[in-house]
Amino acid sequence: MTGRIVNISKKWGFHGITALKEASPGYKMIMGFFLLMTLAGLAFGLHALYVGYHHVYGVTREISWGLLIAAYIFCVVTSTGLCIVSSVGHVFGGEAFMPIAKRAVFMSIVFMFGGFCIIFFDIENPFRMAIWNVFSPNLVSNMWWMGTLYGAYLVFMMIEYYFLLDQNHSMSRLMGFFGLVVGVAAHSNLGAVFGMLHGRPFWYGPYLPIYFIFSAAMSGGCAILFFTALGWKINPEIMNQRMERAVKAVTQLTIFMISVIIFFTIWKILTGMVSEGKQLVLMSMLTGDFAVNFWVFEVFLGMFLPLYLLIRSRGNNFNLILWATGLMLIGIFYMRYDIVIPGQMESVYHSLGVVEAANLLTYTPTLHEIMASLFGIGFIALAYFAGEKVLNGHQLEKHEIVPDGGYICPGCGAIHFMEAGETEEDAMKRHHRIW
Amino acid sequence: MKFPKIGFDNLKNEGTDSVTVKERRKFLKLGLAVVGVYAGGKILSLTSVIGTAHAANGVGSIKKYPYNPHYSMVIRQSLCIDCELCVEACNTTNHVPEENYRTRILSKRYTDTLDKQVEFIPVLCNQCNNAPCVRACPTRATYKDPVTGIVRMESKKCIGCKTCMLACPYDARYFSVERRAVDKCDFCWETRLSKGEKETACSSACPTGARTFGNLTDPENIVYKLVHQIEEQVWVIRPEDDTKPNIFYMKGNMLSVDNILNEQKFKYFNPNKS
């Protein structure tokens, strides 16, 4: 293999730590800020672990899943969404989506780790989980499947990312396919963690597993647009014709997915209004304590504003896309919060008509919970900013300059490398080998 | 196409003489089974039974309950005076951490009633036969005891994900910092029953007999007698969740209950009387 380019900085677009050192002071400050956020979050989390969660967290016996679970769900929904959106290109061959694949898969892995960071500080005995998940599995428990499937998903995504970097498109496609299948299974199963608790009418039913998948696709489209547009702000040179086309395509997909979610939300409310078990909670979302969360954040920031701005952007106004998707990410976070907390607000004894359960239960996140969530969010941001530099904006060369020995594959649109004495056609066959 | 003509109006009445007694009974049983009149049918639809037992078989011939001893509690709601001695006894017996409880007493207020304005409803873990918490636990840290049917905890396996606390439709679970695991009522199995005692702390502490604890498979047991009758209505909390609970509720201050406890079979009809 003498002629083959083995320099990973060229082949993987890997710029190493030097790229971080050369970053501008402002960039370093941003990274420093997120590093501090991560460390502070970690410190608060460890403190909570040390003194006992019940002393510092706002969760109670009745509302036992709080902000941390909402933040965890936000992270894994976005991770699965990034996987789904990127797979349109490099698994199913939608050429327009191909340029986003590397950034999307990278961020998908990062979001997954961020989610694990957060849930680590929610589960009371995380170390026991590693042992007893293996030695005492309960195959009818959604929680068990969630841990197992997300573990497998993460492994597939990491292998896929390696093959993406390594230009082995047939293998990355295969791994991407497995990752997608396992990811969709894991994620719909996460919906079922809630949806199969039949004592909780607000959650119970097939709605949540289905909603979670569509919601993930929306979050994924939103996230990759946000991170691509932000990458463009950091380094305008990552934009080229192929990337512009990709952004346009993803914008269209995201607009469509927002519409789907609006449709889902409308029917959730309308069907819930005739159900005794859900009506009280829904009224709290429409007119009560959760009205700001629901109308301002979930509906306005999460759906209508981005829908309007994304349509206005026509997929090529990157500033507008950045604003739309940035606000939308905040809105999406509230969407997750509005699933987790309201499902627990109605006491199980409410239907009994007793005095103790007459009112809705309340929950307010504490400082420790907020900081432990920021541990994961800070980690994601830090990894993103580091990745943009170290991995050279997730591209091989700037301005579509094809490096020596490489060419743009007419099939997949990525840059391939030829071995010595190999023609483009042979190289393409090698990269897209079907075995 | 021709249809055969049947003149229903002109059919001759065969009369009831030709129907045998056996057939008539069978028909009546079928009807009773359909409307679920038999108490046996009602109870069995609340507690799942391994193997089949049909409503039409009536009280006397229930094949078997899934556990033996099948521990159960009947709460006679009208007798509860909210003295909370049961809660106290439970907390001290089972070392329940402060601010937590395994059992509590809920109160329901009425404004338009003439006899009384408040009703107390003791609640605790229902030891469901179809327990949602057991299904939800990822590591089988909570399980149905194969002998007694008590839903118990194996604390060392609990990862603290708290899914069981949300799965429980009776709010019967809490996280115990001392055990580093979710904890719950185990019918005093660890502290009393396994050491040979016959009653739970709460039922033995109850001064009015509102809580009666016993074995549902033993026809001589008070729990069996209270449940297997049709004079007084027996119900469970949140039957719509289909959890097959083992805590039964009844008003329990009627003459019929006294009759049952005094071993008079029924108030108006005694089948042993010739």
* B134-159 pLDDT per residue, tens: 999 999 999 998 888 899 998 888 99
Among the partner-chain residues B168, B170, B180, the one whose CB lies closest to the CB of A125 is B180
Spatial strand order in the sheet of B71-76: B211-215, B71-76, B247-250
State how far residue A139 is from chain B, nearest Cα, in angstroms: 8
Residue A304 · residue A294 · CB < 8 Å: no
pLDDT band (50, 70, 90) for residue B58 = very low
pLDDT of A76 over the 90 cut = yes
Q: Which residue has the tokens 């020995």?
A: A405
pLDDT band (50, 70, 90) for residue A212 = very high
State how far residue B226 is from chain A, nearest Cα, in angstroms: 23
CA distance B202 to B103: 9
For residue A227, the tally of other CB atoms under 10 A from its CB is 24
pLDDT band (50, 70, 90) for residue A15 = low
Range scoring the smallest mean pLDDT among A214-218, A325-329, B230-234, B239-243: B230-234
pLDDT value for A226? 93
Give the contacts of A152 (CB within 8 A, at least 6 positions apart). A182, A186
For residue B217, the tally of other CB atoms under 10 A from its CB is 18
Contacts of A146 in chain B (CB under 8 A): 138
Test A52 with B177 for CB contact under 8 angstroms: yes
Range B28-47 burial, b when 16+ CB lie within 10 A, else e: ebeeebeeeebbbbbbbebb
pLDDT value for A251? 92
Identify the helix (H) or strand (E) that includes residue A249: helix A241-273
Between A342 and B225, whose confidence is greater?
A342
Residue B237 · residue B172 · CB < 8 Å: no
pLDDT of B49 over the 50 cut = no
Test B107 with A344 for CB contact under 8 angstroms: no
State how far residue B140 is from chain A, nearest Cα, in angstroms: 6
Summarize pLDDT for A271-287 with one digit per residue, the tens: 888 887 788 888 888 88
Q: Taking all residues of chain A, what is their mean pLDDT, rounded to a whole number?
A: 84
pLDDT band (50, 70, 90) for residue A127 = confident
Q: Residue range B222-249: average pLDDT?
A: 85
Chain A contact probe: residue of B99, B159, B237 with most A CBs at under 10 A: B159
DSSP helix, strand, coil percent of chain B (3-state; round to 5): 30, 15, 55
For residue B100, the tally of other CB atoms under 10 A from its CB is 15
Test B106 with A128 for CB contact under 8 angstroms: no
Q: C-alpha angle B169/B176/B107, rounded to 5°?
A: 45
Among the partner-chain residues A125, A198, A351, the one whose CB lies closest to the CB of B132 is A198
pLDDT value for B48? 45
B195 to A100, A396, B96: CA distances (angstroms): 66, 72, 19
pLDDT value for B241? 84
Among the partner-chain residues A132, A141, A356, the one whose CB lies closest to the CB of B136 is A141
Q: Which of A215, A229, A217 is nearest to A333 (CA)?
A: A215
Summarize pLDDT for B85-118 with one digit per residue, the tens: 999 999 999 888 888 899 999 999 998 888 888 9
DSSP label at residue A401: P
Test A54 with B177 for CB contact under 8 angstroms: yes
State how far residue B273 is from chain A, nearest Cα, in angstroms: 42
Q: Which of A85, A142, A136, A132 is nearest to A108 (CA)?
A: A85
Give the contacts of B216 (CB within 8 A, at least 6 positions apart). B47, B65, B69, B70, B71, B72, B223, B224, B227, B246
pLDDT value for B16? 66
Among the partner-chain residues A147, A200, A355, the one whose CB lies closest to the CB of B108 is A355
Residue B153 · residue B164 · CB < 8 Å: no
Contacts of B124 in chain A (CB under 8 A): none
Q: Where are the domains of chain B?
A: 18-63, 65-129+187-261
Structure tokens that stand for B156 in this block: 């060392």
Report yes or no: B177 at the A interface, CB cutoff 8 Å: yes
CA distance A158 to A274: 45
pLDDT of B265 over the 60 cut = no
State how far residue B146 is from chain A, nearest Cα, in angstroms: 16
Q: Which residue has the tokens 């950045």?
A: A322
Test A132 with B141 for CB contact under 8 angstroms: yes
Give the contacts of A308 (CB within 8 A, at least 6 positions apart). none
- Closest-CA residue in chain A for B132? A197
Test B141 with A198 for CB contact under 8 angstroms: no
Of the spans A92-106, B26-40, B85-99, which averages the highest pLDDT? B85-99
pLDDT of A430 over the 90 cut = no
Q: Which of B40, B43, B62, B59 is nearest to B51 (CA)?
A: B62
Give the contacts of A259 (CB within 8 A, at least 6 positions apart). A307
Report yes or no: A267 at the B interface, CB cutoff 8 Å: no
pLDDT value for B32? 56
Report yes or no: B155 at the A interface, CB cutoff 8 Å: no
Residue B159 · residue A124 · CB < 8 Å: yes
Test B161 with A143 for CB contact under 8 angstroms: yes
Structure tokens that stand for A91 in this block: 């698994």
pLDDT value for A233? 82
pLDDT band (50, 70, 90) for residue A413 = low
CA distance A43 to A26: 25
pLDDT value for A155? 92
Between A24 and B172, whose confidence is greater?
B172
pLDDT value for A431? 67
Contacts of B168 in chain A (CB under 8 A): 199, 348
For residue A152, the tally of other CB atoms under 10 A from its CB is 17
CA distance A355 to A350: 9
- Which residues share a beta bridge with A407? A416
For residue B23, the tally of other CB atoms under 10 A from its CB is 10
Of the spans A10-19, A242-251, A388-397, which averages the highest pLDDT? A242-251
DSSP label at residue B235: B
Summarize pLDDT for A328-338 with one digit per residue, the tens: 999 999 999 99
Among the partner-chain residues B121, B132, B138, the one whose CB lies closest to the CB of A143 is B138
pLDDT of B177 over the 90 cut = no
φ, ψ for residue B197 (rounded to 5)? -75, 155
B53 to A49, A321, A332, B30, B44: CA distances (angstroms): 51, 65, 51, 14, 8
Architecture of domain B65-129+187-261: 2-Layer Sandwich (3.30)
CA distance B137 to A198: 14
Is the dihedral angle over the CA atoms B94, B97, B99, B100 positive or is it negative?
Answer: negative
Range scoring the smallest mean pLDDT among A28-42, A357-371, B36-50, B120-134: B36-50
Q: Where are the domains of chain A?
A: 66-369, 402-435
- Closest-CA residue in chain B for A124? B160
Test A136 with B171 for CB contact under 8 angstroms: no
Residue A406 · residue A396 · CB < 8 Å: yes
Amino acid sitting at position A411: G
pLDDT value for A346? 87
CA distance A177 to A155: 13
Q: Residue range A89-109: average pLDDT?
A: 83
Residue B69: cis peptide before it, omega within 30 degrees of 0: yes
pLDDT value for A414? 64
Contacts of A129 in chain B (CB under 8 A): 138-139, 159, 161
DSSP label at residue A95: G
Identify the helix (H) or strand (E) that includes residue B71: strand B71-76
pLDDT of A257 over the 50 cut = yes
Identify the helix (H) or strand (E) that includes residue B181: strand B181-184
Identify the helix (H) or strand (E) that includes residue A415: strand A415-417
Test B241 with A199 for CB contact under 8 angstroms: yes
Architecture of domain A66-369: Up-down Bundle (1.20)
- Closest-CA residue in chain B for A356? B106
Residue A100 · residue A224 · CB < 8 Å: yes
Range scoring the smallest mean pLDDT among A71-75, A136-140, B111-115, B226-230: B226-230
Amino acid sitting at position A291: A
Among the partner-chain residues A132, A349, A351, the one whose CB lies closest to the CB of B157 is A132
Interface A-B, measured as beta-carbon pairs within 8 A, has a size of 129
Report yes or no: B238 at the A interface, CB cutoff 8 Å: yes
pLDDT value for A5? 44
Residue A350 · residue A279 · CB < 8 Å: no
Q: Which of A227, A149, A175, A180 is nearest to A85 (CA)?
A: A180
pLDDT value for A56? 85
pLDDT value for A397? 46
Q: C-alpha angle A295/A300/A304, rounded to 5°?
A: 135
Given phi > 0 = left and psi -120 to 50 = alpha, else beta, which region is A421?
Answer: left
Test B242 with A198 for CB contact under 8 angstroms: yes
Report yes or no: A1 at the B interface, CB cutoff 8 Å: no
Test A54 with B175 for CB contact under 8 angstroms: yes
Test A348 with B141 for CB contact under 8 angstroms: no
Q: Taking all residues of chain B, what is their mean pLDDT, rounded to a whole number?
A: 78
Test B238 with A348 for CB contact under 8 angstroms: yes
Percentage of chain A surpassing pLDDT 90? 34
- Closest-CA residue in chain B for A340? B166
pLDDT of A166 over the 80 cut = no
Q: Which of A243, A224, A216, A231 is nearest to A96 (CA)?
A: A243
- Closest-CA residue in chain B for A144? B138
CA distance A11 to A168: 11
Residues within 8 A of A (CB atoms), B 27-66 only: none
pLDDT value for B6? 67
Test A61 with B166 for CB contact under 8 angstroms: no
